[in-house]
Structure 1
Amino acid sequence: MTLESPQCHFSDEILSREEVQGLLKTQAPGVERQNLLKMLVGWEIAERVLNGDRLGIGSGTTAKAAIRAIGQRLLSKEDPLRVVHGVATSRELAELARSVGIDVEPFDDTLQGLDTLPLEPDLDWGFDGADEVEVIRDASRVIKRFRLIKGYGGAQTIEKLIARRCKKWRCIVDESKRKDKIGAFAIAVEVWEDKLDEVAKIFMERYGATAVTRRQGFITDQENCILDVQMQAGAIQVGWEQEWNQIDGVIDNGIFDEVQPAEVLVAHADGTIESLKPGDVI
């Protein structure tokens, strides 16, 4: 199977948090409900932004919802929010953030600075979505850590680097992204074009991938290709994130075991937001 470049069908419409919660009560159909949940958690992020904050801005449709909600706050004459700074993880999201009034670092400057990251986090906090979230708990049901799969938008390499620049990094998802085990979603792997066949063979033969496909018509912001690696659900081992990055030709991959969110915010169909943090008992 050949994968096409992901297309975003997320609505540009901006609804207030109250409007979103009201529509959720009407039992909106599947796709519409998922978009409403993204708006809901987007507002949760927007309402936490303080004047002058320097944000790490993630990629994907849920991050877009948060950016638009922040923009609504910046437009409101009654809202004290006047200035927000940001560093984006993709050119597309940098343009969107700038269009709603966020003072965004030029994306070319962001790309040029990836090899010389600050020794200490220089962004107040950041947010990003995820394709899958697994909560790791101990025998007492205490959250120890999270495992994430990201990369449907192909920006996972930059997302990891910007997340490391954040003093606190939050993951924002709708309830469909919470999984018992990560792995149902294909893992995006950024690869040099001249190494695609060699790397694909390694994933099939060494790691038992059920399918490895090049994402057709898609080039990352760093001008590399994406291989989508499908594993059996539950088969993704801790340690593979770094191990895969040692394969010749691999830039980075969509397993997020090393970069840990300080909080995962989950939007639910009843209009509530669930906050999950290490140390919580659930």
Structure 2
Amino acid sequence: MSVDSYKLAAARRALGFVEPRMRLGLGTGSTASVFVELLGAQVREGLSVLCVPTSEQTRALARSLDIPLSTLDETPLLDLTIDGADELDSELRLIKGGGGALLREKIVATASDRMIVIADAQKRVDKLGRFPLPVEVVRFGITATRNMIEMLAGDSGCHGEITLRLKPDGTPFVTDGGNLIFDCAFGQIDDPESLDEALKFIPGVVENGLFLGIADAAIIGGPEGVSVIEARYGEGQEAV
């Protein structure tokens, strides 16, 4: 089986958590898009849901599938968010933002009663950091902000190349919020909580791609089938 088939299997399992009349947050990225496609098929068959997308890309996809849409201003409390991840560890700590939607993804996830992550088995890691950590920043003072990221990340034990994300044409990638992204190739992040706190200290940083204590469950598709891991914050985790 292929990675795409693992993503599809995880997305199908996630669909089982959706109940009629739910208010849903829709994630961004390749795996989340698979879920949105499956949800659209259920909507065509009569499923009633109201959804808040985490990006303009996801909004366009959902609209093309005639999925009823809202905004977080109109629907500020959500029942469930389904989203992907670039990495996740055994404690359901995540790195997200490979698609550039980390700010809206975090806002929507924390506005939800429950967040479920869907991913293929290759996204599981022993320690976060193999995937470069996205850090969303404002345009003003970008060089000073980059220097602060380098310095404070170093104080947290993280060192590596920090590069401005570019589009294929060589121009800076711009988020839906009009901001820029630094991709930080720190390698293994031994203390994600410390790094998260350090980055939040920097005024020019809007948000970072560490999602800590946010995911309530992960649905992972792999060669041995689909597994569901429920978070037990403060009590460890267990597979169900």
TM-score category by the smaller chain?
0.7 to 0.9
Provide the secondary structure at the position in 2 that maps to 1:183: coil
TM-score of the superposed pair, with normalisation by structure 1: 0.75
Partner Cα distance (1:51, 1:204) in 2? 47
Partner Cα distance (1:41, 1:64) in 2? 12
Match of 1:56 among 25, 31, 35: 25
Unaligned 5+ residue runs, structure 2? 167-171
Provide the secondary structure at the position in 1 that maps to 2:182: strand
Change (3 A) 1:91 1:281: closer
Which residues of 2 match residues 1-282 of structure 1 at below 5 A?
24=1, 33-76=2-45, 81-105=46-70, 109-110=71-72, 113=73, 118=76, 122-136=77-91, 146-208=92-154, 209-216=159-166, 217-258=172-213, 260-270=214-224, 272-279=225-232, 280-281=237-238
State the shift of 1:207 in Å.
2.1
Larger Rg: 1
State the shift of 1:237 in Å.
3.4
Q: Is the CA contact 1:169–1:263 (under 8 Å) kept in the aligned structure 2? A: yes
Aligned amino acid, residue 230 of structure 1:
A
Change (3 A) 1:236 1:152: farther
Provide the secondary structure at the position in 2 that maps to 1:172: strand
Aligned amino acid, residue 204 of structure 1:
E
Q: Pick which of 248-257 and 190-199 moved more.
A: 190-199
Change (3 A) 1:117 1:72: closer
State the shift of 1:117 in Å.
9.2
State the shift of 1:242 in Å.
3.1
Partner Cα distance (1:240, 1:183) in 2? 11
Task: Note the alpha carbon deviations across 1:117-164, whole angstroms, 9 max, x for none.
Answer: 95xxx211111111110113xxxxxxxxx2110010111111111111
State the shift of 1:236 in Å.
4.2
Provide the secondary structure at the position in 1 that maps to 2:140: helix
Aligned amino acid, residue 264 of structure 1:
A
Partner Cα distance (1:188, 1:44) in 2? 28
Partner Cα distance (2:152, 2:208) in 1? 16
Partner Cα distance (1:235, 1:117) in 2? 37
State the shift of 1:228 in Å.
0.6
Partner Cα distance (1:49, 1:278) in 2? 18
Partner Cα distance (1:244, 1:59) in 2? 23
What is the count of residue pairs matched by the alignment? 226
Provide the secondary structure at the position in 2 that maps to 1:212: strand
Partner Cα distance (1:250, 1:206) in 2? 12
Unaligned 5+ residue runs, structure 1? 1-23, 25-32, 137-145
TM-score of the superposed pair, with normalisation by structure 2: 0.87
RMSD (Å), alpha carbons: 1.9
State the shift of 1:243 in Å.
2.6
Aligned amino acid, residue 208 of structure 2:
N
Q: Is the CA contact 2:120–2:220 (under 8 Å) kept in the aligned structure 1? A: yes
Q: Is the CA contact 1:117–1:165 (under 8 Å) kept in the aligned structure 2? A: no
Partner Cα distance (2:209, 2:188) in 1? 15
Task: Note the alpha carbon deviations across 1:47-84, whole angstroms, 9 max, x for none.
Answer: 332222110111111110000011122234xxxx4322
State the shift of 1:101 in Å.
2.2
Change (3 A) 1:70 1:153: same
